[in-house]
Amino acid sequence: MLKIYNTLTRSKETFTPRVAGKVGLYVCGMTVYDYCHVGHARVMVVFDTVTRYLRYLDYEVTYVRNITDIDDKIIHRANENGEDFYALTERFIDAMHEDEHALFVLPPDHEPRATSSIAEIIAMIEKLIERGFAYIGKNGDVFYAVEKFKDYGKLSGKNLDDLQAGERVDIDLAKRNPMDFVLWKMAKAYEPSWQSTWGNGRPGWHIECSAMATCCLGNHFDIHGGGMDLQFPHHENEIAQSEGATGEKFVNLWMHNGFVRINEEKMSKSLGNFFTVREVLKEYRPEVIRYFILSSHYRSPLNYSDESLKDAVSGLTRLYTALRDVEIIQSDIEVEYKQRFEQAMNDDFNTPVALSVLFDLARELNKTKSPALATTLKYLASFLGLLQENADNFLQGETDDNAAIETQIQARIDAKLAKNWALADQIRDELKAQNIILEDSPDGTTRWRRE
RNA sequence: GGCUGCGUAGCAAAGCGGUUAUGCAGUGGCCUGCAAAGCCAUCUAGAGCGGUUCGACUCCGCUCGCAGCCUCCA
């Protein structure tokens, strides 16, 4: 029985989909004005793993992850670059897809874009005005009147009286209440804009998700996810907009993943302390990043450091080493490990425990070299998006000097047969200096891997 | 000021009211010409103070420390 932590109730709940056997899942994706950093990678990997596991449980999942391709930052960045905003977002959408692909993240079923959903956005705003939740401000912008929505704050545990307006941003005098937020923003000269009854403008930050989510998954769906920092105001506002416009409950279960941190501080663009996925990929294999992300529970903080990534390399090396030279037969799965794996994942997607099951499997596999255990290991790991490479590929890496290495290994085997230990050790040391580690087998053959 | 979380061994990271988490590192052994890998054994825990309990790392309270949110943010 799958249990998932619901931010709305602050507790783990037994997961019951609205329609038996089917799950609608919406995740807030990127605002595309720059490359994805490790924090974005966490969202992609976590919800990819959630989707894989839901499918493993035989749910028919509709996974929607949007792209926000119009907002102030995009406009600002495009101006800085002197390029059309659409060219900018196209570029970074492509880059995002490359990063996603590298990290073994399966594409979502739908990837709606804000700029392709303008009609739906306008329709929702009209509905909100009609139902009395929205008004036209003194500057012509359309605002959401938070006081009109009785449950405002139910997700983030805030109430309007406690919120300190103007904490970080100047109070906008065009609003009736400082907490009101923009639904439709009037365009300044030369800004990208779309026609509406309120004039040429563009959608505010939160409305695009309400429109795209209800459009793709219906007014009421099962799971909505995203980073913890979206809880307030973004997700709170999504609830206010969607429930205000439709009169129906928006989402049953809210999932929020924790932050990636650097030196006990949140990795973020504004702090400038971020590493992009492509930067990290220059140093580490993609699977290392994925393992690193899954080695901590999705709601816990994840501390980014060179050491953590090296730990991930060690862990993966151990698992792949166990898989080396064992036949994978697509048949029998060891039930005991399968059950332990499920138990871990059923407990709010506890990937660290699921990984520990894989390590227990690896130990047993090292002892017995049983094909059934190897099959089980690879099978279970597939739902984490791990261990799907050929073991030697992972351990040796793709290189062009493999032939030279093999030649030296053969020379060493000859030396060993002649009991010329000095030469044998010299060859081994030379290879070690190139980070090539040799491992002799009892049958006289020698294997190698890259350190 | 309001609201969330968190504090576990050398490092990373989980579950659990009483029984080995797991990975890396360390130590001892087996294996090996010697190594490496692997296997076996083993040492380091639960911020502090109270309370509940036969028994608490696990539940409750307080204190201290850390992180996050309060319209940039995944």
> Looking at the C1' of nucleotide B36, which residue has the nearest alpha carbon?
A439
How many separate domains does chain A show? 3
Q: Are residues A88 and A229 in the same domain?
A: yes
Q: What is the pLDDT of residues A151-178, one digit of tens each?
A: 999 999 888 887 765 555 555 668 888 8
Q: Are residues A379 and A240 in the same domain?
A: no
Any idea which nucleotide's C1' is nearest the CA of A233?
B71
Q: Are residues A417 and A340 in the same domain?
A: no
Q: Are residues A212 and A333 in the same domain?
A: no
pLDDT band with cut points at 50, 70 and 90 for residue A306:
very high
Q: What is the mean pLDDT of chain A?
A: 94
Query: Which of A395, A413, A437 finishes a domain?
Result: A395
A196 within some domain: yes
Q: Are residues A340 and A430 in the same domain?
A: no
Proportion of chain A above pLDDT 70, given as a percent: 98
From the CA of A434 to the C1' of B23: give the distance in Å: 26
Give the position of tokens 């930052």.
Answer: A73
Q: Are residues A103 and A179 in the same domain?
A: yes
A149 within some domain: yes
Give CA–CA dist A391/A299, Å, rounded: 31
Q: Are residues A161 and A210 in the same domain?
A: yes
Any idea which nucleotide's C1' is nearest the CA of A162?
B2
A274 within some domain: no
A287 within some domain: no
CA A82 to chain centre: 31
Query: Which of A352, A378, A395 finishes a domain?
Result: A395
CA A32 to chain centre: 15
A295 within some domain: no
From the CA of A353 to the C1' of B11: give the distance in Å: 18
Q: What is the pLDDT of residues A48-65, one digit of tens each?
A: 999 999 999 999 999 999
Residue A410: predicted pLDDT:
94
Which pair of tokens denotes residue A308?
């953590």
From residue A192, give the alpha-carbon distance in Å to each of A72, A203, A396.
10, 11, 50
Output the domain CATH number for residue A231.
3.40.50.620
Any idea which nucleotide's C1' is nearest the CA of A28?
B74
From the CA of A123 to the C1' of B10: give the distance in Å: 59
Residue A282: predicted pLDDT:
95
Lowest mean pLDDT among A212-226, A281-295, A313-327, A328-342: A328-342
From the CA of A88 to the C1' of B41: give the distance in Å: 60
> Looking at the C1' of nucleotide B2, which residue has the nearest alpha carbon?
A162
Q: What is the pLDDT of residues A204-213, one digit of tens each?
A: 999 999 999 9
Query: Which is nearest to A297 in space by CA: A348, A227, A236?
Result: A348
Residue A269: predicted pLDDT:
87
Contact criterion met (CB below 8 Å) for A112 and A64: yes
Residue A162: predicted pLDDT:
77
Cα Rg of chain A (Å, integer): 26
A390 within some domain: yes
A268 within some domain: no
Q: What is the pLDDT of residues A236-280, one digit of tens each?
A: 999 999 999 999 999 999 999 999 999 889 999 888 899 999 999
pLDDT at A201 over 80: yes
> Looking at the C1' of nucleotide B23, which residue has the nearest alpha carbon?
A315
Q: Are residues A338 and A412 in the same domain?
A: no
pLDDT band with cut points at 50, 70 and 90 for residue A70:
very high
Query: Which of A222, A239, A257 finishes a domain?
Result: A257
Any idea which nucleotide's C1' is nearest the CA of A415?
B33
Any idea which nucleotide's C1' is nearest the CA of A237?
B71
From the CA of A181 to the C1' of B14: give the distance in Å: 41
- Protein-covered nucleotides on strand B (Cβ within 7 A): 1-6, 11-16, 21-25, 31-40, 66-74
Output the domain CATH number for residue A391.
1.20.120.640
> Looking at the C1' of nucleotide B31, which residue has the nearest alpha carbon?
A442
Q: Are residues A349 and A438 in the same domain?
A: no
pTM of the predicted model, to two decimals? 0.96
Q: Are residues A203 and A332 in the same domain?
A: no
Give CA–CA dist A329/A102, Å, rounded: 27
From the CA of A77 to the C1' of B17: give the distance in Å: 56
From the CA of A357 to the C1' of B29: give the distance in Å: 27
Q: Are residues A141 and A129 in the same domain?
A: yes
Any idea which nucleotide's C1' is nearest the CA of A356?
B22
A299 within some domain: no
Q: Are residues A157 and A251 in the same domain?
A: yes
From the CA of A447 to the C1' of B31: give the distance in Å: 17
Q: Note down the domain range covering A342.
A: 306-395
pLDDT band with cut points at 50, 70 and 90 for residue A401:
confident
Amino acid code (one letter) for A211? A
From the CA of A198 to the C1' of B6: give the distance in Å: 46
> Looking at the C1' of nucleotide B11, which residue has the nearest alpha carbon?
A307
Give CA–CA dist A314/A316, Å, rounded: 6
Proportion of chain A above pLDDT 90, given as a percent: 88
From the CA of A322 to the C1' of B39: give the distance in Å: 13
